Amino acid sequence: MRLVLDEPKDNDEKFEVDGLTYLIDKGLGEQSGTVKVDYVDNGWQAGFVLSSANPLAGGGGCGTSCSC
């Protein structure tokens, strides 16, 4: 799972939160369950962190969270 800028596609679900629009592939949304997008800055590392309710297999080490 990763965070990218993209245009809507026919197989995307659309969510709007705090004025931001998020798109997620319907199939990935069904597999991942609830997805949380957060920004962390702990002094030595900063960036977006994605975490999903369900671990995703084959995500390149992003089972329950990803740093993008």
pLDDT digits (tens, 9 = 90+) for 4-61: 888 999 999 998 989 988 898 998 888 998 888 889 999 888 998 888 898 877 654 4
State if pTM tops 0.75.
Answer: no
Domain assignment of residue 64, yes or no: no
Domain assignment of residue 67, yes or no: no
Domain assignment of residue 62, yes or no: no
Tell me how many domains the chain contains.
1
Range of the domain at 11: 1-55
Domain assignment of residue 13, yes or no: yes
Count the Cβ atoms, other than its own, within 10 Å of residue 30.
11
The CATH number of the domain holding residue 22 is: 2.60.300.12
